Amino acid sequence: MNSSAIADVWRLSPDRFFDPDPSVRNLARQLYGTVANEPIISPHGHIDIRLLSDPDAAYGSPTELLIVPDHYVFRMLHSRGISLEALGIPTPGGMELREGVSAGPGAGEAGNRKVWQLFSENFYLFRGTPTGIWLAHELTEVFGVKKKLSGETAQEIYDQIADCLTSPEFSPRRLYERMNIAVLCTTDPAWDRLEQHQALRASDWKADVRPTFRPDGVVNLDFPGWLDNIHKLEQASGIEIGSYKAFIQALELQRAYFKKMGATATDHAALTPFTQELTADQAETIFQRALHGQSQQGCDCNPGDSERFTGHMLMEMARMSIEDGLVMQLHPGSLRDYDRAFFERFGRDKGADIPIAHEFTRSLQPLLSKYGRDARLRLILFTLDEATYARDLAPLAGFYPSLLIGPPWWFYDSLNGMRRYFDLIVETAGLYNTAGFNDDTRAFPSIPARHDVWRRASANWLANLVLRGVIDEQDASQMIHELSTGLARKAYRLDQTPELMP
């Protein structure tokens, strides 16, 4: 082991993520080779569309691109005692200089470099994590970095990335093309007017970028700022929302608008997958309580109102999906904003969302009994509780025509997460009841890294099946394409959507 040699040339192994056994490795390499250059289908993610819709968009510094927006990165540093202030993570009030360091436009070069140094010195914390794998991929494959990131190499690597970021080859649109993205779906609140999507479609840069309809902020009564969101939905839809009935109408109108703008899917978070149908009167009563008892902190006016209303709205959303054909995605199980004081200081999506135990079998019985055997419905389920893979999700998806199982999500978008996913799901549900891969990322340059991990993990899984005599090479050579792009295209009905022309 020559550690200085290793530090001098940082190079990813061409056989990375394959099992060490030579026969597996050879076959995995062969299978991976047939999809390594396939375009990327990204049907679910959180890229800021302004990066693509505004031709003059810029990334800012390496710190602003790779650290500040990525809670996967800063939550780990936080867990080892580095404050978010020291990392320049902005509070909702805007960028602030605090404790002498900060990052972002207001912080200047020195601040950004200081944060980068701190990050680099602690890069060892990411050993063995997917974040470490993605960052290594981004640095070496996207930015051409050749030295391993550490406190010693931090500033040199900062310079190299900063140089890239100002070159035309790295403009967001050019990078999008070089990353070989065929379709990219963003996630947009139900009240969004999709002006950036309109601008992008009106531009002369042709790319298949689509919105996704996400109504959590209006269908979950306890969502922070619920009443404000209702007002925004009123404005976007042009419908005065004085009643539950008008609320439903406004949602239907906005869904139609999203669909017209290219959306093929909706996206729903919920604390649990609980579903229950309310009568129109019951729904109206709860909705009125929420409208009139509402503070800015969200509302759960009578105990259980919020859970019952969300459970009902999931059924309504399934009904609408049957009618308009938008694919429905549901990912329950995250207790958002777990730490109240931290949330009040830093806001949402800052790494303090923690999974809770949940189950699907009983929770979805009302929805599935009513709509599950209707072939017009497509419902993609994600989970943060892996106990549900083999126990609930695979048996359900192995019976209901409407169900597909989404890829391993969030904390499980990882090598072991994928291995467990394949092991726990496919034997019961089969591969063809899964929805392929999506990257779900906020970090633009991490997109290829994430798909590369999935394609390699898929190839390795298939190679093992072949060498164990479970499938043959003919099967595997078809399945690797499904895993790489085919399943995702079909799951999100991207294969049924005519090319969009503004």
Instruction: Read off the DSSP letter of residue 170.
Output: G
Q: Which is nearer to a second copy, 75 or 493 (CB)?
A: 75
338-366: b (≥16 Cβ within 10 Å) or e: eeeeebeebeeebbbbebeebbbeebbeb
Give the DSSP per-residue string, 218-246. HHSTTSTTHHHHHHHHHHHHT----SHHH
Q: Which is nearer to a second copy, 16 or 292 (CB)?
A: 16
Q: How far is the CB of 20 from a second copy (least distance, A)?
A: 4
Q: How far is CA 81 from CA 22, 116, 294, 395, in A?
A: 42, 16, 37, 43
199-216: b (≥16 Cβ within 10 Å) or e: bbbeeeeebbbbbbbbbb
Q: How far is the CB of 225 from a second copy (least distance, A)?
A: 21
Q: Which is nearer to a second copy, 104 or 417 (CB)?
A: 417
The 3-state secondary structure of 341-407 reads HHHHHHCCCCCCCEECCCCCCCCCHHHHHHHHCCCCCCEEECCCCCHHHHHHHHHHHCCCCCEEECC
Q: Which is nearer to a second copy, 21 or 323 (CB)?
A: 21
Q: How far is the CB of 424 from a second copy (least distance, A)?
A: 7
Q: Which is nearer to a second copy, 51 or 471 (CB)?
A: 471
Q: Which is nearer to a second copy, 216 or 386 (CB)?
A: 386
Q: How far is the CB of 414 from a second copy (least distance, A)?
A: 4
Q: How far is the CB of 475 from a second copy (least distance, A)?
A: 5
Q: How far is the CB of 328 from a second copy (least distance, A)?
A: 17
Environment class of 26 (CB within 10 Å of its CB; exposed 0-12, middle 13-18, buried 19+): middle
Q: Which is nearer to a second copy, 260 or 362 (CB)?
A: 362
Instruction: Report the alpha-carbon distance of residue 74 to residue 340 in Å, rounded.
Output: 18
Q: How far is the CB of 84 from a second copy (least distance, A)?
A: 10
Instruction: Report the alpha-carbon distance of residue 239 to residue 252 in Å, rounded.
Output: 11
Phi, psi of 159 (to 5 degrees): -55, -45
Q: Which is nearer to a second copy, 176 or 412 (CB)?
A: 412
| H helix intervals, 186-339 | 195-202, 216-219, 226-237, 244-260, 280-293, 305-324
Q: How far is the CB of 327 from a second copy (least distance, A)?
A: 15
Instruction: Report the alpha-carbon distance of residue 442 to residue 195 in Å, rounded.
Output: 20
Q: 421, 424, 425, 369: which is closest to 400 by C-alpha?
A: 369
Q: How far is the CB of 30 from a second copy (least distance, A)?
A: 8
Distance of CA 178 to the CA centre of its chain: 21
Q: Which is nearer to a second copy, 3 or 279 (CB)?
A: 3
Q: Which is nearer to a second copy, 184 or 429 (CB)?
A: 429
Q: How far is the CB of 22 from a second copy (least distance, A)?
A: 9
Amino acid at 489: R
Q: How far is CA 224 from CA 188, 265, 335, 390, in A?
A: 17, 24, 14, 34
